[in-house]
Amino acid sequence: MTTYKESNEIRLKNSSDTRVRPFFQNLLNRDASGLSWLTKLVKLASQNKDLASKMAMMNCRILDQLVEGSKNDKPKCFEHSVSPSKNFLRWLIEHPERLRVPENYGTKDEDKRERRKCLQGEYGVQRQQEMMKDAINLLNEKGAQGSRKQWWAFEGFTMMDCLLETDDFLLGIEGKRTDKVSPATDWFPQRNQIIRNLEVLKEKAGTKEYAILLMSEDGKDPITDNDFYNSLPHYSEQEIAEIKKHYLGAVSWRQACEAVGLDYSALPETIRDVYQSIER
């Protein structure tokens, strides 16, 4: 159980404000194209180094639309919204017995709550099957992009801490500090946040290469093989083995700073330091 003191420390040392944005904004201010530093960052991969080497040989110029932004308007690469996996949304609908139902069915809307009760079988098998068919039809009609706040969407949009895209690949950055890797959805808590992000990045990438790199304070990798199997119940063993090849492992913030020529000690200690820097 997280104590008030620990919770307050997590807020003060928020990884997005004290690590992800300061680190990458400094790099973007120095070279918005990424040509002078993105290759160095990719090569820090602690896993799947063959993929990292392959990506480092590709076009490493970051697309302009992701890094443009004024001083007060953060670039789109930060906290980049990505829709959930359509395949996983379908699996959740088709396997209501595997869901963990949150309090009040996760909504204040009575109509949504009643539909979710039907899907859970509270009003009989026939109503459950009808509601499942209706949910699948709506998913096919609206797609994952149109799933936001829908009654049948049991996983929401994810906010990628930082998304760097070139003509050849997408690199997702998951940044941590005092915070830990968390479950991706209340309805299916076995689903790991990083692996969820890896799957949605795969769908977003299309024909491009893709990968995710975890950046943390200690550089230790918390992801296990079991995390992949638990997070991807709709994948075959072969599909899980394939997606694992796109996880580049973990690297520490200090190690990353040394690789790209930034001063680790200059990163903000707390969000108070961030605000003081803005005021100056």
Query: Which range has the worst mean pLDDT, 1-15, 25-39, 134-148, 172-186?
Result: 1-15
Specify the 3-state DSSP secondary structure of 261: coil
**Residue of 134, 15, 16 lying closest to 74 (CA atoms):** 16
Q: Where are the alpha helices (DSSP H) in 57-124?
A: 64-67, 86-94, 110-119
Q: What is the pLDDT of residue 269?
A: 83
**Residue of 201, 183, 189 lying closest to 248 (CA atoms):** 201
Q: What is the pLDDT of residue 1?
A: 45
Q: What is the pLDDT of residue 31?
A: 95
Share the mean pLDDT of the chain.
90
Strand partners, 183: 192
Q: What is the pLDDT of residue 85?
A: 96
Sign of the dihedral defined by the CA atoms of residues 10, 13, 19, 20, in that order: positive
Q: What is the pLDDT of residue 17?
A: 85
CA 121 – CA 141 distance, rounded (Å): 24
Predicted confidence band of residue 69 (pLDDT cuts 50, 70, 90) = low
Predicted confidence band of residue 6 (pLDDT cuts 50, 70, 90) = very low
- Is the pLDDT at 5 greater than 70, yes or no? no
What pTM does this model have? 0.89
Predicted confidence band of residue 270 (pLDDT cuts 50, 70, 90) = confident
Average pLDDT over residues 143-165: 95
- CB count within 10 Å of CB 191 equals 20
Sign of the dihedral defined by the CA atoms of residues 219, 225, 230, 235, in that order: positive
- Is the pLDDT at 49 greater than 80, yes or no? yes
What share of the chain has pLDDT > 90, as a percent?
Answer: 80
